[in-house]
Amino acid sequence: MRPSDLPKPRNKRARIEPLSVLPVFLDLHGKLAIVVGESEGALWKAELLLQSGARVRLFCRRPSTAILQLVSDSDGAAELVAGGWRSAEFDGAALVVADVDKGEVGQLARKAHAVGALINIIDKPEFCQFQFGSIVNKSPLVIGISTSGAAPVLAQNVRSLLEAVLPADIQARAKRAASIRARVCARLATPALRRSYWQAFFGRIFGFEGEQRGCDGPPHVIRALHVDDLTLRDVRALQSANHIYLGEQMDPLILNFARREAQRHQAFKSGDIDLFPPGSVLIGRI
């Protein structure tokens, strides 16, 4: 078999299964966020927004001691407006979070839409344009977990599991990466070289120091036919692959672990893995 005989990339299979919601991350630094209400839920959302760098304007009829303390400790980032919300003070808001009575919801939602702000009404999903999920905070690594409201306890359990299994020094490693990113980009000319460098950089904390993976690593053969039989090294290879060649009788769920940018190729048969490009992964009966 010659390299020219290798199958062409295929585009028919979706790279990702359907999503109930699209996970996105908002940069709120310096932007205005409105919080209406004095409940525990409103207080927690205000704290989250402040920790995300937003300027927070709180409308509270009866502010609690905890809310007063939050405003006092915010160094001016939080502003307390006593009494009910006033539409004139919504101008320039990036988002609005509220815990209000049913009678106020419609008018408040219309005002938020009028100023172009995203809105979240606590416990009223029909009025929510975005959701707050469970958070694993290893900033700058931030992991959001959502079940679209179907099973909040499941999201909390997943968060607890991630907190337990992530390496203890992952946050320090992420901060170090941020501090040297510009220098790495300047010294390594191509995306493939940079990806290979970062794979090795983060591989150390996951115990992959001895592996030769990335853009110039040898092909990796995954002989597991079912997703439950994948090894940790198989998953690692899938996440760094440039090309993925699909053999016979493979479980399509295996591709959920694959790097999204990798080119995927039709099913094939071959006995010589050395003919395949560096950084490729072969799955199934090869």
Q: How many domains does the chain have?
A: 4
User: Does 109 share its domain with 50?
Assistant: yes
pLDDT tens sequence across 121-172:
998 989 999 999 999 999 999 999 999 888 889 999 999 999 988 998 999 9
User: Does 191 share its domain with 278?
Assistant: no
Q: Confidence band (pLDDT; 50, 70, 90) for 195?
A: confident
The residue-averaged pLDDT of 34-46 equals: 96
Domain extent for 198: 171-206
Calculate ∠ Cα 241-272-263, nearest 5°: 25
User: Does 138 share its domain with 127?
Assistant: no
Q: Confidence band (pLDDT; 50, 70, 90) for 118?
A: very high
**Per-residue confidence (pLDDT) for residue 97, from 0 to 100:** 97
**Per-residue confidence (pLDDT) for residue 258, from 0 to 100:** 83
In a domain, 15, yes or no: no
220 contacts 214 by C-beta, under 8 angstroms: no
pLDDT tens sequence across 4-29:
555 555 545 567 788 999 999 999 99
User: Does 49 share its domain with 79?
Assistant: yes
**Per-residue confidence (pLDDT) for residue 265, from 0 to 100:** 82
User: Does 128 share its domain with 143?
Assistant: no
Q: Is 214 helix (H, G, I), strand (E, B) or coil?
A: coil
H or E element that contains 194: helix 191-203
The residue-averaged pLDDT of 219-231 equals: 83
pLDDT tens sequence across 73-101:
999 999 999 988 988 889 999 999 999 98
Q: Confidence band (pLDDT; 50, 70, 90) for 216?
A: low
pLDDT tens sequence across 237-246:
887 788 888 8
User: Does 148 share its domain with 72?
Assistant: no
In a domain, 5, yes or no: no
User: Does 241 share its domain with 255?
Assistant: yes
pTM of the entire predicted model: 0.73
The residue-averaged pLDDT of 59-63 equals: 94
Residue 103 Cα distances to 18, 97, 106, 107, 117, angstroms: 35, 16, 7, 8, 20
- Indicate if the pLDDT at residue 254 is higher than 70: yes
Residues ≥6 apart with Cβ < 8 Å to 18: none
In a domain, 44, yes or no: yes
**Per-residue confidence (pLDDT) for residue 246, from 0 to 100:** 83
User: Does 238 share its domain with 248?
Assistant: yes
In a domain, 25, yes or no: no
In a domain, 20, yes or no: no
In a domain, 50, yes or no: yes
Structure tokens belonging to residue 62: 């009866």
User: Does 180 share its domain with 221?
Assistant: no
Cα of first residue to Cα of last residue in the chain, in angstroms, is 13
DSSP 8-state code for residue 52: T
- Indicate if the pLDDT at residue 193 is higher than 60: yes
The residue-averaged pLDDT of 113-128 equals: 93
Final residue before a domain boundary, out of 154, 182, 206: 206
In a domain, 178, yes or no: yes
Q: Which residue has the tokens 């999201």?
A: 155
User: Does 140 share its domain with 178?
Assistant: no
User: Does 175 share its domain with 227?
Assistant: no
In a domain, 87, yes or no: yes
**Per-residue confidence (pLDDT) for residue 275, from 0 to 100:** 72
